[in-house]
Each structure stands twice: as C-alpha cells, then as structure tokens.
C-alpha cells in the first residue's frame, strides 16, 4: 500500500472509529501556535461543520466555529475574537488545523477539534494541551528566594559571619590585641618590682658591710 493511500486509510479509520489524536505544546506569551487536526481527505467544505472547543467555556462559546462555509464569530468566545484562523481556508485534504495568535498565559489549557460531515454528529479528532509560560516571571521568582534574602546578605557573612561574630566582637579587635596589651603591662610591672626589690636588697647588704668596718 502506497504512503498516500495509507494516510487516507488511517484518517478514515480514525474518523469512523471515533479515535482522536493527542499532543502537547509549550509556548511563550506572544507566540502564534498551530493546532493540528486532520479528518477525511474527501470532505467537502460545503458540508463541513468544524468547531474548536475548550473545556471550561460556556456551552455555546467556542475557540473557533465554522459552518455553512463561513466562520461564526457570534459563537466564538470574546477572548479569541480575531485571534484564530484556519491554516488552510479551503480545508483541502481534510486539514482542519487552526492558528491561535498572540497567546497569553490565560490561553493555557486543553483544546479539542470536532468535525461533522454532511450533518453527522461531530466527532472528536484531536486534543491538544497548551502550556504558556512566562520565563521572565519565573526568573524573578527565583531571584526573590535566592541569595537576596536567604543567602550571604542576611544569613551569611553579614549577620552571622566575620562582621558581627568574628573579628569585630570576639576576635582580634576587641578580645585579642586588647588583652595582649594588658598582659604586657602586667608583665613589665612585675619585672620592675623584682628589679626594685633586688636593688633594695643589694643596697642593704652593702650598708651592713660598711657599718661593720666602721666599728673596728
């Protein structure tokens, strides 16, 4: 079986067995995101009813709604007005994909593609989960909880390190050199007293010898 015939067979099988594809997408605010959806390749645009829905919207509000050969904006949720369009306006070969322009964080969610042919009940053909992330906001959050509050500034060197608990209060500045100076003064005082005592003792001995000589 050729590749083209196999593709047609898979599409038809997926449609009639009510199977649907699933995919996930990640985007940044401002991106234009394609949502893929494929159905019967022989579908006539005149008989196609296409709707892209998002769970959580009101029952009569859709991301995109196409019927009777035109887009019905009155069935479209206001947040998607003028932001959604067909990738192929003629929907050739069963291409029911759309593009959602300028996505925002609020666009994150699940999107479902339903297609009905010739008045038949619409079938779910594709489900896409979109996640829109703002990297700038995430980076700011990391910065708030990092070195600024819990790192070196408050809990590190500033309060519990060298500044308050180190050299300033308990180190060389107050408890080191100061005590050393006191010890030096005391030591010199002791030496002076000893020298003075030795001088007095020597003088007394010389005095006794001199007195003894004077007696004879």
Max avg pLDDT among 73-82, 149-158, 171-180: 73-82
Report which of residues 103 and 156 the model is more confident about: 103
**Which residues, 6 or more positions from 40, have their beta carbon under 8 angstroms from its beta carbon?**
11, 12, 15, 94, 117
Which of 176, 199, 180 lies closest to 188, judged by CA? 180
The Cα 122–Cα 113 span in angstroms is 9
In this structure, the strands spanning 21-27 and 98-100 are unpaired
Sort residue 68 into left (φ over 0), alpha (ψ -120 to 50) or beta: left
Is pLDDT larger for residue 206 or for residue 61? Answer: 61
- Contact yes or no for 122/18 (Cβ under 8 A): no
Q: How confident is the model at residue 212 (pLDDT cuts 50, 70, 90)?
A: low
Q: Which residues pair with 66 in a beta bridge?
A: 50, 71
**Whole-number pLDDT of residue 108:** 96
Q: Which residue has the higher pLDDT, 12 or 107?
A: 107
Residue 50 pLDDT level (bands cut at 50, 70, 90) = very high
Q: How do 33-35 and 21-27 pair as beta strands? A: unpaired
117 touches 40 (CB < 8 A): yes
**DSSP-assigned letter for residue 174:** H
């Amino acid at each position: 079986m050729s590749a083209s015939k196999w593709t047609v067979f898979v599409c038809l099988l997926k449609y009639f067995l009510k199977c649907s594809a699933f995919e996930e997408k990640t985007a940044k605010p401002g991106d234009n995101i394609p949502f893929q959806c494929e159905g019967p390749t022989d579908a006539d645009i005149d008989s196609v009813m296409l709707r892209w829905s998002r769970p959580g919207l009101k029952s009569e509000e859709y991301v995109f709604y196409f019927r009777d050969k035109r887009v019905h904006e009155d069935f479209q949720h206001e947040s998607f007005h003028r932001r959604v369009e067909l990738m192929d306006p003629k929907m050739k070969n069963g291409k029911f994909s759309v593009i959602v322009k300028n996505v925002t964080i609020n666009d994150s969610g699940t999107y479902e593609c339903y297609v009905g042919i010739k008045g038949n009940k619409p079938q779910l053909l594709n489900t896409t989960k979109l996640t829109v992330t703002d990297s700038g906001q995430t980076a700011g959050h990391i910065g708030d909880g990092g070195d600024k509050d819990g790192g070196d500034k408050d809990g590190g060197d500033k309060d519990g390190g060298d500044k308050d608990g180190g050299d300033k209060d308990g180190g060389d500045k107050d408890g080191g050199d100061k005590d050393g100076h006191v010890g030096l003064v005391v030591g010199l005082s002791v030496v002076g007293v000893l020298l003075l005592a030795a001088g007095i003792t020597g003088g007394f001995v010389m005095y006794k010898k001199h007195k003894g000589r004077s007696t004879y």
